[in-house]
Amino acid sequence: MRMSGRAAIQGLWAKVLSSGAWFEPEPPLPTLVSGGLGLTSTPPRDGAGARAQVVRRQADGSWLRVIDQPEFRRP
C-alpha cells in the first residue's frame, strides 16, 4: 500500500532517523524571496551535489515547504 501526505512523511523520517543517518549543519546561502515563494540553499562542504528548499507563504504568514532536497550521509 502506498502512503501519501503526512503519513508518508512520518514514515520516511522514521526510517531515516532509525537508520543512523547523520546530519552536519552547514551555513546557509542568502534566502531569495519573490512574492509568496522563497528559496533557501546550502553549499555542500564536499563541493558535490546541491541542497535546496522551496517554501510557500501561507495565509497565516507561516511558510510551508513545497520542495526539500536534502542529502544524507552515514557516519
**What is the tens place of the pLDDT at every residue in 30-53?**
999 999 999 998 877 777 767 888
Residue located via cell numbers 523520517: 13
pLDDT of residue 14: 92
Rounded to whole angstroms, the Cα distance separating 39 from 60 reads: 19
Contact 64/55 with Cβ under 8 angstroms? yes
pLDDT of residue 52: 84
Residue 52 vs residue 1, higher pLDDT: 52
1 to 7, 14, 26, 40, 66: CA distances (angstroms): 12, 17, 36, 33, 24
pLDDT of residue 72: 52
Determine the average pLDDT of the residues in 10-39. 89
Backbone phi, then psi, for 34, in 5-degree steps? -140, 110
User: Whole-number mean pLDDT of the chain?
Assistant: 84
